[in-house]
Structure 1
C-alpha cells in the first residue's frame, strides 16, 4: 500500500492495465482494503473487461463495514505509526536480518491459546516463515501463499494446533488442494478473510469483557491510584497504559469517583486524539506536558529492538503511564463509565450497541472530543433511527451544531415540519430559530436561516409541493383534479406561521 492506501491492484485497475491486473490476481493480490476515499478497485476499473475480471475472482462490490477495523489491525503489523509492539521474533541468524517480526502480547493473548508470555517460546522454536504466516493470520493480513511453499507444512500445522488456530489449519489444507483451480482458491481465500475478520472481532470482544472491563478499578473520594494498584491493573492483559476517567458523578450516586481501565496504546490510537498524543510523545523534543512526557522515559522502551519493554513495569510500576479521557460535557445517559465502555467496545472490536438517543448523544460528544469521525457518524445515524425520546430535539439540534453534523439539524427540521403547529408555539422553538440566525458571523438583512430553510424544505416534502418549481407549472398542478387542496392550504398556513414568527423575532429570511 502507498501512503494514500492504494494497492498495486487498485492502481492497475484504475489505469486499465489488464495484464497486470490478471498477474496480480494470479499471485494472490486482493482488494479487501478500502482505498483512502472509500472506493475500491471494482468501482474505478477503467474498462468493463477489467471489471469482469475482478468479478470473476469474487471481488465484492459492496464496501465491507469491517474494513476500517481490519485496516487498523493489519496496520499495526505492516506500517506502525509509532512503537506499540512488545514482543519480537526473528530468524535463527539473529535480529536485524530483515525477518524480525514485532507483535503485541495482548493480540496473542486474545486470539490464541497462549496464557502467559513464557508460552511464546513456541514461536521462537520454529522457522521464521512459520511465524510470519501465523502472525499475518492474527493481524488480518492476507497470507502470502508463496510462504507456505517455503515451510515444513507439518511444523506449520503443529504450531497452529499448539496455538489453537484450527481455522487457519483448515484454510491451509483447503488451499493446499492442488485439484482446485486458481480462481476457486481465490474465492475460498476471500471468503476466509471475511469470516476471519468477524472471528477476530468476536475474540477481541471477549478479551475486552474478561481482561479489561471486569478488572476496572474504582476509587472513591478522588483517591489516586497507587503503583501497586497500577501493576495489578495491567497484570495478565498486556496493557501498556491506564485510562483514567476523572469526572465527578462518574458512578451514579458518588461525587468524586475515579475509574481506571487497563488499555493498549495500539488500540487507543484508533482515535486521532490519542494517535497524535502517542506520536508526539515519541519525540522528547515535544514533551511539553505531563500527559505527554510520561511516554518519553527511555527505560519503557527497548531501543535496540524498537519495542515496549513491558517487564520494566514489573520493577517500576510507578512509571506505568496514566492518561485521562477528555470529557468536558454533561452526559445524557446514566453514567460516564457506561459511555466510556461503549467507546472501548468500538475501539477494541468495532461493535457498539446504542440503545437510546441519550447514549447516541453522549457518544457523539465523546467521539468528537477524541476526533473519531466514524464513530461520531455511526452514533448520529443511530440517533436518527431510534424511537426513544430521552433527549429534547432542541438539544439534539445544538449537539449537531456543536459537533458539525448537518445530519442532526436536518433530522430535527424534519420532526419539526411534521407537526409545526405544535412546535412553533414553544419558547424553545423560537429560541432555536434565533440561535440558528446567529450562527452566521456577520448576518445580512435577508440572509437565510438554515433551520427555517430546512423546515420549509420538509414541509414541501410533507405536502408534496415543490417550492422551486416554475410558477406556471405549479399553477397547472393547482388546477389538476388530483391535487389535495386541503394539503396546499395547510402548507400555505404553515409558511404564513413561519413568516409571522420571523416578524415577531425581528428576522427576515
Structure 2
C-alpha cells in the first residue's frame, strides 16, 4: 500500500506525502513498478521539479549515462528538470546510509578494513576478504584452498585481465551491484566466465540488450555506463553462509543434509571468536566492526588479544557477558545478512541488545515485527517502546492506530497520562505550544479524508480528542 502511495504521490507531485512516506514509513525510493519505472521517473515525467530535487537528495538513483539516468532525462517534462538531472553527480553519503547494509558492503570493499588478501592486477592493488569471496564464489573457494593457499598477496599477470573489469567483479561480489564502462563489458564477461559466474554472464547479456533497445529507440541518447542492480535475497543467502559457519558445531542443526549446502565444506577464515555462555562463535572482525560502532570500539580500541582459542591458537577470543546465546545468534545473523527471523518472545530482548550494540537497522527490524502485533490493548505500550528506542516508523504506526480508535482511547486514564508526559517532555513548552503525540494523531485523523461521511467521522474524532485535552488542561 505504501509503495502504491509513493508512486501515486510522485505522479501528483505531493512532496509532503512523499517526504512522509520516505522519512516516516521507510519506503524504498528506488522501487520499481511492473513497467520497470521508478518514483523519480514519474516525478520527472510529470514535471515536479521540487519533488525531483528531494528524491535525488534522498537517494533516488539517476547516474549520468546509465539506463535509468538517460530514461529520466529523456522523459522529463521540462528543460529545468533535465538540467537538474544532468547536474546530479552521485548519491550523497546521507542517502547511502539510508540503506546501511549496502553502505557497509560498499565501504568494506572501498576501504578494505581487516582485509586478509590483496590482488595485484597490472600495478593496481585490490584489498579483499577471503570470507566474502569464498561465500560468493565456489571458484574463489577452490583457488584459496589450492593455488592461492596461504598467500596474502596474489598477483594476476594475464594480459587479458583488465584492472577496471576486475574491480567491477569485486564490486559485484561485495555488493551485488556492478557499474562498468560500456567498453569494458566484454572484459567483465570474460572474467565472469573464468570465475564460473553464469548468473552474472546472463545478467550482463540481458542488460546489454535492454540498453541497446533503449538507445535504438531514443535517437540522441548514449549510455556510457552499464549498471546491474543487486539481487538482495541472493546476496543475503550467500552471506548467511558465513553466519552458518560461525555457529558452534553443537548448535548447527541440519547443515550438510542437502547437496547444495556448502556450509560444512568451505573455510571462512575467521579472525575473532566470541564466547557466549560457553559457546564459541567463529566470526570476522570486518563484519562486526563495520556494522557496529560498539564492536568497533571493543575490538579495535579496547581489546587486548590475551585470550586465544585452543582449537585455533591464531584466533583471538572475546567473552561476551550478559547476553543469551540465542539472542547473540540473532545479532550475528543480522550483522552478516541484514536480516534475522524474529519470534515475538525474543523481539524485546533483541531490541534491547541491538540498542546496546548500536545496531539501528536491527532495531528497525524489531520495530517492524512489533508493528504487526499492534492492537487496542497494547498500542500505548508499543508507542512508549517506540519513543524509548527512537523507532520513528513504529511510533508513527502507533499514532495512526490511535487515530482509528481515538473515541475509545480518550476514555483511558493511561492515554491522558501519556499526553501529559509528552507535553511535559518538551523543554520550555508554552501553554499553547503543540504536543507531538496530539499533532500526529490529528494528522492521521485528517489525512486521506475525501468523502462527506469521512469528514463527519473525522470531526467526531477530533472533537473527542479536544474534549480530553480540555479536561486535562492542555491547550494545543
Q: TM-score, normalised by structure 2?
A: 0.59
Return 5+ residue gaps in structure 2 as ranges.
1-54, 64-68, 74-78, 88-94, 217-221, 253-263
Matches within 5 A, 1:42-441: 47-49=80-82, 68-80=100-112, 83-90=113-120, 98-113=123-138, 114=141, 117-121=144-148, 124=154, 126-127=156-157, 129=161, 132=166, 134-140=169-175, 141-143=178-180, 156=191, 159-161=194-196, 165-170=197-202, 189-190=226-227, 193-194=228-229, 198-209=233-244, 211-213=245-247, 215=249, 236-245=267-276, 257-274=277-294, 276-277=296-297, 281=300, 287=301, 289=302, 292-294=303-305, 317=313, 320-322=316-318, 324=320, 337-354=325-342, 356=344, 364-381=351-368, 383-384=370-371, 386-387=372-373, 392-441=378-427
What SS does the aligned partner of 2:274 have?
A: strand
Question: For the residues of structure 1 that align with 2:268 and 2:338, how far apart are their CA atoms?
Answer: 19
Contact 1:110 1:204 (8 Å CA) reproduced:
yes
CA–CA separation in structure 2 for the residues paired with 1:244 and 1:36: 43
2-structure distance, mates of 1:438, 1:152: 63
- Give the CA deviation at 1:110: 0.9
CA RMSD across the alignment: 5.2
Distance change (3 Å), C-alpha of 1:459 and 1:495? farther
Is the 8 Å Cα contact of residues 215 and 261 (structure 1) preserved in structure 2? no
Q: CA deviation at 1:106?
A: 0.9
Q: How many Å separate the matches in 1 of 2:294 and 2:355?
A: 13
By how many angstroms is 1:243 displaced?
3.5
Change in CA separation of 1:166 and 1:187 when aligned onto 2, cut-off 3 Å: farther
In 2, the alpha carbon distance for the partners of 1:372 and 1:482 equals 45
Report how far residue 195 of structure 1 moved: 5.3
One of 453, 463, 466 as aligned partner of 1:495 = 466
Q: Deviations over 1:125-152 (max 9, x none)?
A: 8536378365344234535666677799
TM-score by length of 1: 0.56
How many angstroms apart in 2 are the aligned matches of 1:437 and 1:497?
A: 14
**Offset of residue 85 of structure 1:** 0.9
Aligned to 1:284: none
Q: Deviations over 1:353-387 (max 9, x none)?
A: 4565x666555544443333444445435544x14
Distance 2:246 2:286 in 1: 15
**Per-residue displacement from partner, 1:162-210 (whole Å, max 9, x unpaired)?**
xxx3334556788999xx79958969953xx22555433332234433x
Cα deviation for residue 120 of structure 1 reads: 5.0
C-alpha contact (below 8 Å) 1:216/1:262 kept by paired residues: no
Q: CA deviation at 1:273?
A: 1.5
Alignment of 1:450 with 2:446, yes or no, is: no
Q: Is the 8 A contact 1:70 1:197 kept in 2?
A: no
Bigger CA radius of gyration: 1
Kindly indicate whether the alpha-carbon contact (under 8 Å) linking 2:243 and 2:333 is maintained by their aligned counterparts in 1.
yes
Change in Cα spacing, 1:118 to 1:392, as seen in structure 2 (3 Å) is same
Shift of 1:157: 6.7
1:316–1:142: structure 2 CA closer, same or farther, 3 Å change rule?
Answer: same
Q: Secondary structure at the match of 2:422?
A: helix
Q: 8 Å contact 2:270–2:284 — kept in the other structure?
A: yes
With over 3 angstroms needed to count, the CA separation of the structure-2 counterparts of 1:149 and 1:390, relative to structure 1, is same
Per-residue CA deviations over 1:382-411 (Å, capped at 9, x if unaligned) read 544x14659932332222222233443343
